[in-house]
Amino acid sequence: MGNSLHLQISHVTRQFKVNGEILTALDDVSLDIAEGEFVTIVGASGCGKSTLLRLGAGLDLPTAGFVGHAGRPVKEPSLERGIVFQEPRLFPWLTVARNIALGLENSGLPKAEKNRLVESHLELVGLSGFANAYPHQLSGGMAQRAGIARGLVNRPNVLFLDEPFGALDAITKARLQDELQTIWAKERITMVLVTHDVEEAVYLGDRVVVMSPRPGRIRDVVPVDLPRPRDRTSPQLVEIRNRVLESLNATTSTSRPLSSITGPAVETRPAVVAAE
C-alpha cells in the first residue's frame, strides 16, 4: 500500500431538497485514503455510502466541504477515476469488446492502442474468449467482469465500486471477490468499494469504514492488518468481522436485525434518495 495521500474527503456535507424539505445525506464526513489502498465502506441503508462514492467519482458535488484527488479538487467526472455500478450496465447491441472500449472513448488514443488495451483487459478479467459475445450471452458474473474491465481499461488512478457483487449468487460472488483482489494486487490501483456485506468488506479491505445512519457520519474505521490472500475462516478475520458487526449494530435500532445491513443493496437515484 502506498503512503502518499491520494483521496481527500474533508468535512463534507451533502444535502438534498426532497418534497420541499432538506435531507442531510452526509454530515461533516472526513476520510483520507492513501495511494494504492483498498478501502471498503459499510453501513445500513440510508447512511450515505453511495452518495460518498459519487462525490469521490465527481458525479456529484458536496454542499459543503472539500473532495480532492491527487491534490486537486474533484468537480466533475474524469478518466483518472473509474466507477463500477451494481449492475454491469452493458449496452445490449454492442459486443463485450465494444462495451469495454467505451471506457476509452474520450482517451484520444490510436485505434490500435485501444484494441490492445481492450484485449489485455479481457484477459485480465478472464473473458478472452468472449470478445465478440453480446451481453445476453453472458452469465451475471461474466457481465460484471465486463463492467469491471470497462472501469479499468483506461487505467484510472482510482476505481470506485458501488456494491458490484450484490446481485450475484454466493459462489460467483466469492469467485469475483478473489479475482478483484488479484487485480488490485497486480494493478495497485486505489480502490474504494461500497457494500452491505460485512464479510466482503473485511475480506477485501485494508480498512473498513463503518457509517452510521442518516445523517451519514463515519462512526468507526477498522484496520484489517492481515496478509493476502486471506482465509475467510481464519479466527483473525472472524474477529475483525465481529468488531465491524458490533460497530454497525451500535448504529442501528435494537429492533432492526443485522440482516438488514448485510442484505442486497437497493439502488437509489441522487435526485430522489441519494443517501444510500
pLDDT 10s digits, 68-109: 998 899 999 988 998 998 888 899 999 999 999 988 887 888
Starting at the edge strand that comes first in sequence, how are the strands of the sheet with 158-162 ordered?
81-84, 158-162, 190-194, 38-43, 207-212, 217-223
The closest alpha carbon to 10, from 32, 41, 25, 33, belongs to 32
pLDDT, tens digit (0-9, with 9 covering 90-100), for 197-239: 999 999 999 999 999 987 899 999 999 999 988 899 999 999 9
Say what the pTM is.
0.84
136 has pLDDT over 60: yes
3-state secondary structure of 162: strand
Cβ pair 14, 62 in contact under 8 A: yes
Domains by residue range for the chain, with CATH: 5-80+157-273 (3.40.50.300), 90-155 (no CATH)
- Nearest-angstrom CA–CA distance, 21 and 244: 33
Q: Which amino acid does the sequence have at 15? A: Q
- Nearest-angstrom CA–CA distance, 62 and 56: 10
Q: Above pLDDT 90, what percent of the chain?
A: 54
pLDDT computed for residue 183 by the predictor: 87
Q: Count the Cβ atoms, other than its own, within 10 Å of residue 9.
A: 21
Q: Which residue has the cell 468481522?
A: 241
pLDDT computed for residue 193 by the predictor: 96
- Nearest-angstrom CA–CA distance, 200 and 152: 20
